[in-house]
Amino acid sequence: MFVWGSGWKTIDLAVTGKQPCATCEKDRPFHVYLKYRYVHIYYLFKWVSERHYLRACEICSRGVELDKSQLQASVPISKDPIPFMDRLGWTIGLAILGALLLVPYLIEKFPS
Residue 24 binding Zn ion, by CB under 5 A: yes
CB-nearer residue toward Zn ion: 74 or 91 = 74
By the rule CB under 5 A, 57 interacts with Zn ion? yes
Q: Which residue is nearest to Zn ion (CB)?
A: 57
Shorter beta-carbon distance to Zn ion: residue 63 or 93? 63
Alpha carbon 22 to its chain's center = 28
| Residue 11 within binding range of Zn ion, rule CB under 5 A | no
> Is 23 near Zn ion (CB under 5 A)?
yes
75 binds Zn ion (CB under 5 A): no
Give residues in contact with Zn ion (CB under 5 A): 21, 23-24, 28, 57, 59-60
